[in-house]
Structure 1
Amino acid sequence: MEITKDRFGSAFDGTPVDIITISNSSGITLQCMSYGATLVSLKMPGRDGKLSDLVLGFDSFDDYLKPHPYLGATIGRVAGRISKAQFSIGPRTFTLERNDGSNHLHGGRNGFDKVIWTPRIFGDGDEVGVTFSRTSPDGEEGYPGKLDVEVTYALNDRNELAIRYRAESSKATPVNLTNHTYWNLGGNGSILNHKLRINSKKYLPVDDNTIPMGDILETDGTPMDFSSAHPIGRDIKLVPGGYDHCYVLPEAETRLRPAAILNHPESGRTMEVYTTKPGLQLYTANKLRDVVGKHGIHYGKHSGVCLETMYFPDSVNQHDFPGIILRPKEEYHHETVHRFSIR
Structure 2
Amino acid sequence: MKIIDKLVGNYDGQSVIEYTLSNDSGMTVSCLNYGCVITKIIVPDRQGNFENVVLGFEEFEDYLDLSPYFGCVVGRVAGRIKGARFELDGKEYLLADNEHPNHLHGGKKGFNSVIWKAEKIEEDEEVGLKFYYYSPNGEEGYPGNLNIFVTYLLNNKNELVITYEGKTDQKTLVNLTNHSYFNLSGNLKRDCTEHILQLESDRFLELGKDLIPTGKMIAAKNTPFDFQHGRRILSGVNSVHPQNVLAGNGYDHPLIFTGNGENTIVLSDEESGRTLMVTTDQPCVVVYTSNQLEGPFSISGVRARNYLGVCLETQGLPDAIHQPEFPSVILNPEDVYYSTTKYRFFANTLGD
TM-score range, shorter chain: over 0.9
Matches of 2:302 and 2:222, distance apart in 1: 37
| Helix, strand or coil at the partner of 2:300 | helix
Find out whether 1:85 has 2:90 as its counterpart.
Answer: no
Contact 1:194-1:263 at 8 Å conserved across structures: yes
2:223 maps to 222
| Helix, strand or coil at the partner of 2:214 | coil
**Please, which runs of 5 or more residues in structure 2 have no aligned partner?**
none
Give the 5 Å matches for 1:1-343. 1-11=1-11, 13-124=12-123, 126-187=125-186, 188=188, 189-238=190-239, 239-240=244-245, 241=248, 242-252=250-260, 255-258=261-264, 260-290=265-295, 292-343=297-348
TM-score, reference length from structure 1:
0.96
Matches of 1:335 and 1:325, distance apart in 2: 18
| Helix, strand or coil at the partner of 1:235 | helix
Contact 2:2-2:122 at 8 Å conserved across structures: no
Residue deviations 1:10-52, cap 9 Å, x none? 11x3310111110111221110100001111001111112221
**Please, which runs of 5 or more residues in structure 1 have no aligned partner?**
none
Residue deviations 1:251-301, cap 9 Å, x none? 34xx4322x100011110000010011110000001101363443111210
How far off is 1:125 after superposition? 5.2
Identity of aligned residues (%): 40
Residue deviations 1:94-147, cap 9 Å, x none? 110101121100000110011000010112452210011010010000000000
RMSD value over aligned CA atoms? Answer: 1.2
Matches of 1:228 and 1:209, distance apart in 2: 30
The farther-off stretch of 287-296 and 232-241 is 287-296
How far off is 1:236 after superposition? 2.3
Matches of 2:26 and 2:200, distance apart in 1: 28
How far off is 1:67 after superposition? 3.3
Contact 2:56-2:300 at 8 Å conserved across structures: no
Matches of 1:291 and 1:64, distance apart in 2: 14
Matches of 2:343 and 2:300, distance apart in 1: 25
Q: Tell me which amino acid in the other structure corresponds to 2:144.
A: G
Q: Tell me which amino acid in the other structure corresponds to 1:244.
A: D
Matches of 1:257 and 1:126, distance apart in 2: 25
Contact 1:34-1:116 at 8 Å conserved across structures: yes
TM-score, reference length from structure 2:
0.94
| Helix, strand or coil at the partner of 1:132 | strand
Residue deviations 1:180-239, cap 9 Å, x none? 001000121210011111221111011001111111111001111111112110232222
| Helix, strand or coil at the partner of 2:26 | coil
Q: Tell me which amino acid in the other structure corresponds to 1:331.
A: V
